Amino acid sequence: MPKFCANLTMLWNELGFLDRFAAAAKAGFTGVEYLFPYEHDKDRLAAELKKHRLAQVLHNLPAGDWAKGERGIGCHPDRVKEFQAGVSKAIEYATALGCKQVNCLAGIRPRGTDPNDARETFIRNLQYAAPRLKDAGVKLLIEPVNTRDIPGFFLCYSKQALDIITAVGSDNLFLQFDLYHAQVMEGDLARTIETNLKLIPHMQLADNPGRNEPGTGEINYPFLFAHLDRLGYSGWVGCEYKPKTTTDAGLGWIRPYL
C-alpha cells in the first residue's frame, strides 16, 4: 500500500504554516511535503518534524518569484546561474530536513524563447543538478503540470518528461507523477503508472474537476489505490489538493488508508 503524506502548502491553510505540522500528525499522517522551505529557518523546520515524528518527503528547488507568477526557472535560458545557486540551497535544506527527494519545476516558457532552446536549457540544468543531488543522497524529480491551471508551463506530458529523462542520461532523475495534472492532460493513469513504475518514486493527487479531495470528481481513486497495491508501489503519495470545505472535514476519504 502506498504511504500518504500531507501537502502543507494546500492543507490546513487556515493555520499558520508552522502550525500545520501538528495538524498533519494529529490527522494521522507520518510524512509531509510542501512547495518551498526557504522562507523558514531550516533548524525550526527540522524541530517541527522531529517534534511531531514526521518525515520530510519532498520539497521543490527554488522556483523564481512565486508571488509574481513565476512557476520555476528550469527552462529559462537567462536564469542558469540562478538555477545553479538554487541547487546548492536545495541541498542545504534537504540535508537539514532529512528530505530524500527534490522536485524541479520546469517553469513557464519565457515569451519569445524557442521551445528547443527551452528544452536544451532544461536538460543542461538537470544534468548539472542530478549528480550534485545524488552526492547528497537526494533524488531529483521532474513533474508535468497541466496547462489549464498554469498556461504556458513547459513540461506538461508524461512522455515529454520521460524523453527528457532519457536525454539527460542520469540515474538520479525520476518522474513525479501528479495524478490530477495527468488526468487533465492525458488520462490513462493506471497504464502510465504500470508502464513507468520504476521511474516514479513519488506521486501526488487531487480529484478533477476542481482539484479537491478524492471522491469529489471523476477519478476512481479506490481503483487506483488498489492498482498501486497490486503493483507493489511503496513510495509516497502527496495529498496536494484544495479542500472543498475545511481540511479536517474533507479527510474522510483517507482514514481507511492511514
Catalytic residue numbers read: 143, 240
Tens of pLDDT, residue by residue over 202-230, are 999 999 999 999 999 999 999 999 999 99
Q: Which three cell numbers stand for residue 212?
A: 479537491
b/e burial code for range 199-233 (CB count within 10 A of at least 16 → b): bbbbbbbbbbeebbbbebbebebeebbebbeeeeb
Tens of pLDDT, residue by residue over 240-258, are 999 999 999 999 999 998 8
In the chain, the domains with their CATH numbers are 3-257 (3.20.20.150)
Residue type, 148: R
Question: Strand pairing of 101-104 and 139-142?
Answer: parallel
Q: Which three cell numbers stand for residue 170?
A: 542520469
Residue whose cell numbers read 541547487: 87
* Separation of alpha carbons 258 and 142, rounded Å: 27
Q: What is the pLDDT of residue 1?
A: 76
CA distances from 153 to 13, 42, 78, 148, 188 (A): 25, 29, 17, 9, 21
Q: pTM for the complete prediction? A: 0.97
* Opening angle at CA 57, ends 54 and 63, nearest 5: 130
Tens of pLDDT, residue by residue over 80-124, are 999 999 999 999 999 999 999 999 999 999 999 999 999 999 999
